[in-house]
Structure 1
Amino acid sequence: MLKWYTELTKGEKRTYWACFSGWGLDAMDTQMYALAIPTLLAVWGMTRGQAGILGTTVLIMASLGGWIAGILADRYGRVRVLQITILWFSAFTLLSAFTNSFWQLMITRGLQGLGFGGEWAVGAVLISETIRPQVRGRAVGSLQAGWAVGYGIAVLLSTLLFSTLEPSLAWRVLFAIGLLPTLLVLWIRRHIKEAPVFEQTRRANAADRPSIWAVFESPTRVTTFKAILLTFGIYGGNYVMITWLPAYLKLALHLSIANVGGYLAINILGSFSGAFLNGWMADRFGRRRTFIVIACLQAIAVATYTLASITLPVTLVLGFVLGTLQSGTAAGTGAYLAELFPTRIRASAQGLCGNAGRAIGAIMPTMVGLFSAKLGLGAAMGICACVSYLLVVTAALLLPETRGRDLAEVVQTSGAESVGEERELGNVR
């Protein structure tokens, strides 16, 4: 399944690891908040509704950050803007450690979200434009495993810190460690080059400066809105689980800190595996079919996990399945969004569509926080997640298939089809 990696060039491998590491460290900084929720509820007396609002704020700001970073990347280069976004989200994660109120943390987390959304958008475009079409789905999809790695590091750090320090200090130290990703920037500056397709397009159209509203111009805007619906469903469902699963395990299932870490480790291992599963399926069976199958399976798994009466051992095993499918839906967005839009607006489209979906999907964690007061935490999580995955299926049915598309040949997009060459590589393995 990993034979494709051995066939990459040295430059492709370096770009792959730069984007993998950036996404993983982004995940580490972002998931620190989810792991600190139970402590903040106790130390600051925050309500679950306020905790949900904090989670929503960072995702809304991520949509703005992704769009801004994408516009800048289309004008000034992917690699340069990637470095800026990593520095940005690291700095504001550190500043979160020094907050003393709900409002202060909302400001620092919101600003951190700008870099969080920007890093994903620019990194996804850079790797999509660097990797050749035959293995793009597997290469870009596997980057989602970086999220699992980063999340796993955050869980290990939180488990260690909350087991050895007072909770009121542990969460601050956890956020302070979020400065570490800045070290990655030094390596990127020395080893990573711009994608050839971007350089060629920039040289050929040196005077072309697309409007910031270009993604909403005809005939692109129809595809833009459909892509946003797709990512809304994906991230709405996923962020329900990412934001609330640690709290669910502790508050609803009454697990200890050590046991929560163990259960999350199984979930994260599944998430790591799901990234590779999606990439293989997307290159083998097509992008749309993969989204539909994985979203349907995830809805069933989430409903069983949160709404059914199951034993703790079953919860542990199902946590692996949840992680696999959760990562599987998100892993496909990077390559798919890149294949829907032309190079001149690809980064801005990727930043907007990917992160607008995050922003709208951010409603779901807040809804869980509010609904849990009447329905219970598990029921609220299950209902909100399942509705989200239904939207994934709907959007996938409306969008075109793009497997094997040469990004240099994507000229423009319209409602049901893309103008440009679309090659179906049914024999790709």
Structure 2
Amino acid sequence: MSSYRQTNPAERRGFIAEMSQTERRTFIAAFGGWALDAFDFMVFTFVISTLGTIFHIDKGQAGMLATVTLLFSAVGGWLAGILADRIGRVRVLQGTILWFSVCTMLIGFAQSFDQILVLRALQGLGFGGEWAVGSVLIGEMVRTEYRGRTVGTVQSGWAIGWAVAAGIYTVAFSLLPDEYAWRVLFWIGVVPAVLVLFIRKNVPEPELYQRTRKQEVASEKPMSAWSIFSPRLLKTTVLSALLCTGVQGGYYAVTTWLPTFLKTERHLSVIGTGGYLSVIILGSFIGYLVGAVLTDRLGRRANLLIFAALSSVTIYIYTRVALSNEQMLFLGFPLGFAASGIFSGMGAYLTELFPSAVRATGQGFAYNFGRGIGALFPSLVGYLANTSGLGAAIGMFAGGAYFIVLLAAIFLPETKGKEIS
């Protein structure tokens, strides 16, 4: 009995069950926002070939449509972070969700490549802002001992949104002609706007943020958005941005080009099938959840180091070892597990690295700087592949990206258990 009493209640019942009502509602809002964000973003990956046929889009233009969203999301994430530090986390979160929902719906009405390009850019502004603000909101709202697991579990919403996008894609293209099915998928993208009603009613501003803002108003000396580049925070900002560049650059380099490599150079037919995609999504979901637990148990840096190493090993196997279709099907799980699990500790870590007055600004800049630079990795892999081969190019850029993760994690401080202020 004594050992049972000494066990943390969150370990026995689950940390979500131990949350207060406000913490739980904030968790639902952040999880739902990220899942719906993923749905709106991943829908494009399923219809890109259809768009190419209908609008006569070549591969270069298709790549531009993918890159422009990520580049503009870098801008949107930082701007949303600045606004969240000035007018509130909840208000800006609602605005970003409405923004990317409406822009996604409007893509369904597009009549040309140029219209899609502009709307994808505008969609990116909201896409980048939603994570930056939602992650700060949940990180400030939940208590310290649950922060890593909670923020990491919110990250798993991406796999849910991805799976829903895959499911609706299958249904839409089974029941409707291609020229209408792709539009329906984007029209459904307006659904996240409903989440705003839940947020308005159930999610308050974190007390920490409200207290910080009152102190700033009273002092009449609010911290500037440029404070993240002050001598006191410059090291943290630079290393955080490098960390996010490595995590996202590795992810984009692998997920963008690996299916093409396996199809064209390894001639594997399982790639692109529903079964293979399902295995990867399942691996991603489990990876997010395992990473969420590890980031609280072992620490923020340990989680990053473990998953960076796992990702490097997985990429080596994929690009250097001859594999059969059956082996590749099962190896989809460790690929999704490793590439996604590394993200679980990011939100909590960035929340704890920056002070409250510029937390959303710093977190928004670091994460979305990494996203902006990471968005260039697929193009760089493509150029290098012309001389070195696609497998070598993937390995070089992905391996280099995860090496950057290792260096940044080593030089950044451990923040596990830190009381944020």
The alignment's TM-score, normalised by the length of structure 1, stands at 0.89
Match of 2:295 in 1: 282
Identify the match of residue 353 of structure 1 among 361, 366, 370. 366
- Preserved contact between residue 72 and residue 125 of structure 2 (Cα < 8 Å): yes
Is 1:341 paired with 2:383? no
Whole-Å Cα distance in 2 between the matches of residues 213 and 188 of structure 1?
Answer: 30
Identify the match of residue 52 of structure 1 among 63, 72, 83. 63
Change (3 A) 1:168 1:240: farther
Whole-Å Cα distance in 2 between the matches of residues 251 and 174 of structure 1?
Answer: 29
Identify the match of residue 155 of structure 2 among 140, 144, 154. 144
Match of 2:326, as an amino acid?
P
1:374, CA displacement in angstroms? 5.8
Match of 1:123 in 2: 134
- Preserved contact between residue 55 and residue 365 of structure 1 (Cα < 8 Å): no
- Preserved contact between residue 246 and residue 260 of structure 1 (Cα < 8 Å): no
SS of alignment partner, residue 331 of structure 1: coil
Stretches of structure 1 lacking an aligned partner (at least 5 in a row): 409-429
Match of 2:331 in 1: 318
Cα distance per residue 1:234-290 (max 9 Å; x no partner): 111112344456666777756489x62221111111111111211211111111121
Is 1:23 paired with 2:34? yes
Match of 1:229, as an amino acid?
L
Residue pairs, 1:225-374, within 5 angstroms: 225-244=238-257, 255=269, 260-372=273-385
Is 1:201 paired with 2:212? yes
Is 1:80 paired with 2:79? no
Superposition RMSD in Å: 2.2
Whole-Å Cα distance in 2 between the matches of residues 333 and 192 of structure 1?
Answer: 23
- Preserved contact between residue 19 and residue 123 of structure 1 (Cα < 8 Å): yes
The alignment's TM-score, normalised by the length of structure 2, stands at 0.91
- Preserved contact between residue 74 and residue 368 of structure 2 (Cα < 8 Å): yes
Runs of 4+ in 1 over 6 A off after TM superposition: 248-252
Aligned length: 407
Match of 2:365, as an amino acid?
L
Change (3 A) 1:62 1:338: same
Whole-Å Cα distance in 2 between the matches of residues 91 and 306 of structure 1?
Answer: 40
Is 1:67 paired with 2:68? no
Whole-Å Cα distance in 1 between the matches of residues 268 and 324 of structure 2?
Answer: 13
Deviates more, 1:287-296 or 1:382-391: 382-391
Match of 2:176, as an amino acid?
L
Change (3 A) 1:86 1:75: same
- Preserved contact between residue 49 and residue 370 of structure 1 (Cα < 8 Å): no
- Preserved contact between residue 34 and residue 157 of structure 2 (Cα < 8 Å): yes
1:172, CA displacement in angstroms? 2.1
- Preserved contact between residue 271 and residue 325 of structure 1 (Cα < 8 Å): yes
Deviates more, 1:394-403 or 1:1-10: 1-10
Is 1:93 paired with 2:107? no
Match of 2:8 in 1: none
Identity over aligned residues, as a percent? 45
Match of 1:427 in 2: none
Match of 2:6 in 1: none
Match of 2:322, as an amino acid?
S
1:371, CA displacement in angstroms? 4.4
1:398, CA displacement in angstroms? 1.5
1:66, CA displacement in angstroms? 0.8
- Preserved contact between residue 159 and residue 261 of structure 1 (Cα < 8 Å): no
Whole-Å Cα distance in 2 between the matches of residues 337 and 346 of structure 1?
Answer: 8
Change (3 A) 1:255 1:358: same
1:373, CA displacement in angstroms? 5.4
1:308, CA displacement in angstroms? 2.7
Whole-Å Cα distance in 1 between the matches of residues 382 and 177 of structure 2?
Answer: 26
Identify the match of residue 172 of structure 1 among 178, 183, 192. 183
Match of 1:21, as an amino acid?
G
Match of 1:103 in 2: 114
Change (3 A) 1:352 1:273: same
Whole-Å Cα distance in 1 between the matches of residues 288 and 39 of structure 2?
Answer: 17
Whole-Å Cα distance in 2 between the matches of residues 175 and 245 of structure 1?
Answer: 26
Deviates more, 1:43-52 or 1:71-80: 43-52
Stretches of structure 2 lacking an aligned partner (at least 5 in a row): 1-10
